Amino acid sequence: MKTAKDPRHLHRISLLQDLFAYSLSGIKPKKKSELSEILVKFPEIDVIIEKKAPKWPLNQISKIDLAILRLAIWEINFSDTPPKVAVDEAVELAKDFGNESSSEFINGVLGSLLK
């Protein structure tokens, strides 16, 4: 069972913070990292978000929600993370870092992706 000190959960929080910081600064990491792997996939990930949340243009999604979605979709489509784990983690991150409706929004977008 996941705990707040689970290293995988802490790693996701760190990646989320880096993605959020990137959304504010636009500065890419200088060395190859997992973050740079995610950034390379942004065009593909953003197309998925646009298809699964058609009423929400990317520029109208809060930066933290967008970072959570990008991380979760990258995990689902481009890593070996089980989809259910990625969704559960994304919803938890949304509860911790987003606003009161973030977790429902994230769950809805990712749920439609998995259908």
Which amino acid type is present at position 96? D
User: How many CA within 13 A on the CB side of residue 11?
Assistant: 10
- The sign of the torsion formed by the CA atoms of 28, 17, 106, 9 equals positive
This prediction has a pTM of: 0.94
pLDDT in single tens digits along all 115 residues of the chain? 467 788 999 999 999 999 999 999 998 887 888 999 999 999 999 999 999 999 999 999 999 999 999 999 999 999 999 999 999 999 999 999 999 999 999 999 999 999 8
Q: How far apart are CA 102 and CA 94, in angstroms?
A: 5
Class of domain 34-114: mainly alpha
Confidence (pLDDT) at 16: 96
Per DSSP, helices labelled H in the chain are 7-25, 34-40, 42-52, 63-78, 83-97, 102-114
Domain layout of the chain by residue ranges: 34-114
Confidence (pLDDT) at 32: 81
